[in-house]
Structure 1
Amino acid sequence: MRYYLIVILMAVAFVKVAAKTMEEPQFNAHDLSIVWEPVQNDYKNHQQSLNAITITNNGKKTFPASGWKMYFNSARLIVPATVSGNAKIDFVNGDLFSLTPTSTFTEIKPGQSVRVEFIDDEPVVNITDGPEGFYVVWDNQPDKGYNTGMFTLKPFKPNYAGLVTPAIIYDQNKNIQDVPETQLTKVFPTPVSYKETGGVFNLNKDVAVIFSPEDKFAKELELLKSTIEPLIGSKFKTDLKGGSVKMINILYDGRLDSEAYRLTVNPGNITILASTGAGAFYGIQSLKTLIPASAWAHPQKEIEITCVDVKDAPRFPYRAFMIDVGRNFQPKSEILKVLDVMALYKLNVFHMHLTDDEGWRIEIPSLPELTDVGAKRGHTLDAKHNLPPSHGSGGEIENKTGTGFYTRADFIEILKYADKLHIQVVPEIESPGHARSAIKAMNARYNRLMAEGKKEDAERYLLYDPNDQSQYSSNQYWTDNIMDVSLPSTYNFVETVINDVVGMYKDANVPLKTINFGGDEVPAHVWEKSPAYLALKATHPEIKNTGDLWYYFYGRVNQLVKAKGLYLSGWEEMTLRKTALDGQPFYVPNPDFMPEHLQAEVWNNSLGDGNEDLAYKLANAGYKTVLTCVTNLYFDMAHYKSFDEPGYYWGAFVDIDKPFSFIPFDYFKNSTVDRNGLPINRNIFIGKQRLTDYGKTNIYGLQSAVWGENIKSTQRLEYMLLPRLLGFAERAWSQDPDWATEKNTAKSDSLYQIAWVKFLNVVGKRELPRLSYYADGYNYRVPKPGVVLQDGKYLANEQFPGLTIRYTTDGKDPDAKSKIYNDAVTITSNGVKFRAFDNKGRGSNVSEPVTP
């Protein structure tokens, strides 16, 4: 008996050891570091690039030559046969690839490395073009992913058309003059009327803020107190006792429009006139920008505010910023911080792109799988419990950008916070495309309920017919990301999501006007072999082909939205009828939806693609149109063509001049470069629709956007958003500038240059120093200096007057203690490096001119 007991104990111990071995591989994948190296563009005279990854073993054990696969993400397709021959690369789905060692792959001993060379199907332009998110999966543990360690990239100096060099930056900056701060408008965005009246108002503890609980603007006055009192380190008085004669108050003036205000600052008082809380709020925001930027750095006993008389109102009623949190998640704290900076610059719509192929980010209590499955990313090949890694999120589920969602309580808190700032939150639920997270979540629900024997309930919210044999590939290479709009269950899903979203707004006591239901990028060949489509077609004679499903789907969704007292909004494809012209696909405004007052948000004006006038077509046809033009208003685009500037560039390069120079009613006029940053051929505008006077009345507003694919941290979000958002705010709020309407080209250019220089001085000297500390400070982009060689010496300049340029001559990168650049720098044997710094000591990328 004792013998058998010993055998049993030994067997149990063996099982435990075996289980532990399965749970904990002998080699720690975190000991592997990966270096990506772009090697050569135009490889073998094709539009492709030769790349390499070097895998280094930093551990104490040998990494084996086989028994594993390595997975990673890439936004570009990769040729399967690697050049080095020691590995094979396979496409999985979306942006996920696998790397499998071949028989020639060698083990990696401690301290050693292995190099794998491969071909990317496009040239390398910047740091966003590389692979990312490497992780290891062991053959004996195929369901578990282990992230590798440090990932770095080797600097690359490509030679391609449109490359922006320090010398080109210098040339762009050479006409930017320093404007004394006394000559700058001290309210931003530029108001309708601004006049400095002489003298100052001394903001200190003796100032009284007068209001009563029943005051029409009590909420706005409380907000004013809470944001400005910290600047003086004490509370404002609430009465005129004790000899105080200075006061701040907000008075009702019914003659003003809903968002208009008048701000008057005299030595003895500050008065804001408004007819609504929104107008009063914008008057307060103007007062905040009137306060010197230095006051936000630390409390001061007394702050001098210039006396002014300001009359102001916005140009457009819809001034929006869209953030994509579906691709990469942003925490609630960052969302609130984004709302703060939006409010400061008088934007009033926050469009939350809450769902996409790679993530569902809002809790829908009626359908818990949406977040239980759809809000998590980690290694999987079947997506039954979570989504696969995308955009470098890695193989482990515990990650900050791939995994995450807003609970119902979180979202209600966001709604209330935005409402306090007079910002409307527009939720976007992507459909029918970009819906993989929802599809896989509802598949998981189906599997759970089928296992419980509840077939009818299981099928109630299915978004995908398992018998559909249609083959397609989306723009992002997904092969299974489109809702089947022929399924009745799809509309059960849509209605349930609408109900839960409406309930959150109700509980937040915040108005909801519209829900955006996407409509973007549904690929060809979808639904063609869907049994549900064939059945629907047989009973609906108006459906002749899969293209007609478009109108069927949005017609039904529109009815569901209208039933809740809302109107439907979406991307431009929602409002288009797909037809053909000379045998080629062609879009025209859909007349069927025009009476429904749908809101179209138009991004597609890519220069050279043929749809440059799409927004104007829709507005001229009668659609309420929001301009979200990729050429000027997509802030996830790289600032310019340089390897060290992150961001996509498929639609354009977008520096701060693009939103500032945008002319909403004639954006053809100031379009000067194509998507590659090269001079444009203006023949592309021949025959394009111009905006009619009627069409102008349908331009509801402007929307800037940050899509989330390459936004992997709060710091990167702020880098891409700011200060470009200020150029957008100027165009969305301020009146049509004189240079935009001037028909004489030379005079228009001259007027534009004057306005551009003033704007850059305001941003550099007033707004960037404020943003260094406002709302605990923002990680805005500090542009690198321009540098040119003249007469044997280097000259440097900066885009924003007010920044400090520093340099080194010892080969090291400049830091906040390096020498300040004041005059030309002589060439040295170690070369010269320049960087710009803000008032907080944060530096730009390094400008390193070529040494002759």
Structure 2
Amino acid sequence: MSDNPRTSPMSLVPLPREIRTEGEEGLVLTATTRLSADNEAKGTLSWLRRELGAATGLPLNVGEEEDARIRLSVDPTAGLGREGYRLIVDGEGAIIVGNDPAGVFYGAQTLRQLLPVDAYRDAPLGEETVWRLPAVHITDAPRFRWRGAMLDIARHFQPKREILRFIDLLALHKLNVLHLHLTDDQGWRIEIRRYPRLTEVGSWRTESQVGTSKPPVFDGRPHGGFLTQDDIREIVAYADARHVTVVPEIDVPGHSQAAIHAYPELGEVGEIPVGTQWGIFEEVLAVTDNVLEFYKNVFDELIELFPSTYVHVGGDECPKTQWKNSESAQKRIREEGLADEDELQSWFIRQLDDHLTARGRRLLGWDEILEGGLAPGATVMSWRGEEGGIDAARAGHDVIMAPTVTSYLDYKQSESPDEPVPVGTLLRVEDVYDSGIVPSGLTEEETEHVLGAQMNLWSEHVDNARRLDYMVFPRLTAFSEKVWSSHERDYAAFEPRLREHLRRLDAAGVEYRPLDGPRPWHTRPGVYGWGYSPDGEAPEQGHDRA
């Protein structure tokens, strides 16, 4: 038997805290195998029967506890910790005990990984497969409670079916937060019934910039789409069944061209088009009472749809030029006794923080919300390096770490010119795996404010699901182990497990980037990212998140 999870022959990802392999044959699933669950574990029972039943073709009927070979239960007295579980497989059967329903679900995800990789298919292959679970004793719990991924559907829209698939892939990797970036200059993607023009005219643009060449090149194709409120309810329910929390983001006061196009009175300069280029633009929201009332109404509809404690308000990349030249903005600065436009942005964010707090929610924003003073109840998502997270933690605020150099899934994966639309700095699988989460120099008390981390997929150059898969996997797989597992990381030991895990992704139909580089159809010849242009000159770097 083995007590060292890093030398275990099983290719589990993320790696559990403790693994003991037993010298027994384990359990073989057959047509007579029955399952049972207590009341709190019934959701996972339904999920497990649906997934394994589809792949194996076995009925996996529900039985009484005494005749079930696979038994699921919740026991908060078992000493497993938040989201923790224990999985025991022997010749008699398999038992999953979770500290809570989420723990049972993660135990079931591990059980699925113990089966042959075809357990990740949607239908049986018609061949005789022995669905054997090895004899094992696993005790496990996550390192961090926020294990997230951000999906930007504002720049390029992803329809509901792709969002649901993405949720399944997060759950497969024991990630528990989907941050949906719903609005930006280039599109508004969620139905707000009080303000129908947000989606009637703000959800589509006339064309899209292709790559980052200067001068810009456009595709000449209209692009659009949005999620109805019923779509959102379905997405939230689907995610909840997989213990994934959906955190919505409405970006203010910058990155708001689509909203201003729909309702020009929101801006400082009247009517403007929905954005077609990538970058940072001077168009910002006005800071009038009417604008604040508009967005408070938007957030009221949002919190009816999303039960998440956290609501993301963006707050990033907000140029101040229009406010410097705005009579109403300067009047607001004088009336509120503010020092400058940075404090004006902070004042704007605080109004939303008060509004969300009064409704039992917590405001979340990119680290620019620190500038000019942080709202009392705000949580900071640190993306411009670690400094914002350090400053917020030292000020007693909760933090989620997402620094660009280790967390941006739109960044290039090699220095090869074959990488499709290479932007940003190099971020390989091993770079994700080996990077830290908690900044050095924090005290033990300050470290408690680091809730966890997430990776972000900005979609300026991600215009379809195949491209999404290529940019996300397997880097998100490496990230999942970093935020889940407490053991000392060793990429040389991780890579063999990752290669086996890629066979699961193959079976699940995920078109990930191969470890040895892009396949021919992944490349995009003639579409240039940062550092590439037709004349050999490096184009200007626009949006830091482009």
TM-score range, shorter chain: 0.7 to 0.9
State the match for 1:437 in structure 2: 258
Larger relative strand fraction: 1
State the match for 1:513 in structure 2: 309
Does 2:234 align with 1:413? yes
3-state SS of 2:389 partner? helix
Match among 203, 219, 222 for residue 43 of structure 2: 219
CA 1:467–1:530: 2 relative to 1, 3 Å: farther
CA 1:620–1:338: 2 relative to 1, 3 Å: same
3-state SS of 1:728 partner? helix
Contact 2:75 2:99 survives alignment (8 Å)? yes
Contact 1:249 1:272 survives alignment (8 Å)? yes
CA 1:556–1:182: 2 relative to 1, 3 Å: closer
State the match for 1:700 in structure 2: 451
Q: Deviations over 1:612-646 (max 9, x none)?
A: 53322322222201000111111110102121112
Larger relative helix fraction: 2
3-state SS of 2:314 partner? coil
> Alignment identity in percent?
29
State the match for 1:760 in structure 2: 495
State the match for 1:634 in structure 2: 408
Does 2:298 align with 1:547? no
Give distance in 2, aligned partners of 1:764 and 1:332. 30
Match among 268, 277, 294 for residue 493 of structure 1: 294
Does 2:464 align with 1:662? no
Give the count of matched residue pairs: 502
In structure 2, runs of 5+ residues without a counterpart are: 1-5, 212-216, 272-276, 525-546
State the match for 1:204 in structure 2: 30
CA 1:521–1:648: 2 relative to 1, 3 Å: farther
Letter in 1 for 2:111: L
Contact 1:205 1:232 survives alignment (8 Å)? no
Contact 1:265 1:309 survives alignment (8 Å)? yes
**What aligned pairs does 1:609-624 form with structure 2 within 5 A after superposition?**
613-624=387-398
3-state SS of 2:514 partner? coil
CA 1:240–1:182: 2 relative to 1, 3 Å: farther
CA 1:190–1:467: 2 relative to 1, 3 Å: closer
Give distance in 2, aligned partners of 1:247 and 1:716. 41
Give distance in 2, aligned partners of 1:465 and 1:232. 60
Letter in 2 for 1:204: T
- TM-score (normalised: structure 1): 0.56
Contact 2:357 2:377 survives alignment (8 Å)? no
Q: Report how far residue 257 of structure 1 moved.
A: 2.4
Give distance in 2, aligned partners of 1:220 and 1:467. 52
CA 1:491–1:196: 2 relative to 1, 3 Å: same
Contact 1:318 1:348 survives alignment (8 Å)? yes
Q: Deviations over 1:7-43 (max 9, x none)?
A: xxxxxxxxxxxxxxxxxxxxxxxxxxxxxxxxxxxxx
In structure 1, runs of 5+ residues without a counterpart are: 1-180, 380-387, 444-461, 469-473, 506-510, 578-589, 606-611, 668-689, 739-751, 786-834, 837-841, 847-852
Give distance in 2, aligned partners of 1:430 and 1:641. 32
Letter in 2 for 1:503: E
Q: Deviations over 1:360-404 (max 9, x none)?
A: 00111110110111111116xxxxxxxx7677774343xxxx211
Give distance in 2, aligned partners of 1:539 and 1:713. 48
Q: Deviations over 1:717-737 (max 9, x none)?
A: 0100011111100011111x3
State the match for 1:106 in structure 2: none
Q: Deviations over 1:31-64 (max 9, x none)?
A: xxxxxxxxxxxxxxxxxxxxxxxxxxxxxxxxxx
Match among 129, 149, 166 for residue 321 of structure 1: 149
CA 1:249–1:425: 2 relative to 1, 3 Å: same
Give distance in 2, aligned partners of 1:367 and 1:338. 29
CA 1:467–1:494: 2 relative to 1, 3 Å: closer
Contact 1:245 1:268 survives alignment (8 Å)? no
Q: Report how far residue 666 of structure 1 moved.
A: 4.4
Contact 1:656 1:727 survives alignment (8 Å)? yes
**What aligned pairs does 1:800-839 form with structure 2 within 5 A after superposition?**
none
Q: Report how far residue 547 of structure 1 moved.
A: 2.2
Q: Deviations over 1:793-812 (max 9, x none)?
A: xxxxxxxxxxxxxxxxxxxx
Letter in 2 for 1:657: E
3-state SS of 1:210 partner? strand
State the match for 2:180 in structure 1: 352
State the match for 1:534 in structure 2: 330
CA 1:530–1:760: 2 relative to 1, 3 Å: same
3-state SS of 1:574 partner? helix
Contact 1:428 1:515 survives alignment (8 Å)? yes
Letter in 2 for 1:484: A
Q: Report how far residue 647 of structure 1 moved.
A: 4.3
Contact 1:633 1:658 survives alignment (8 Å)? no
State the match for 1:254 in structure 2: 76
- TM-score (normalised: structure 2): 0.86
Give distance in 2, aligned partners of 1:240 and 1:436. 58
Give distance in 1, aligned partners of 2:279 and 2:119. 46
Match among 649, 666, 669 for residue 423 of structure 2: 649
Give distance in 1, aligned partners of 2:177 and 2:313. 16
State the match for 2:476 in structure 1: 725
State the match for 2:530 in structure 1: none
- Point out 4+ residue stretches in structure 1 off by more than 6 angstroms: 388-393, 842-846
CA 1:537–1:304: 2 relative to 1, 3 Å: closer
Give distance in 2, aligned partners of 1:597 and 1:395. 44
3-state SS of 2:339 partner? coil
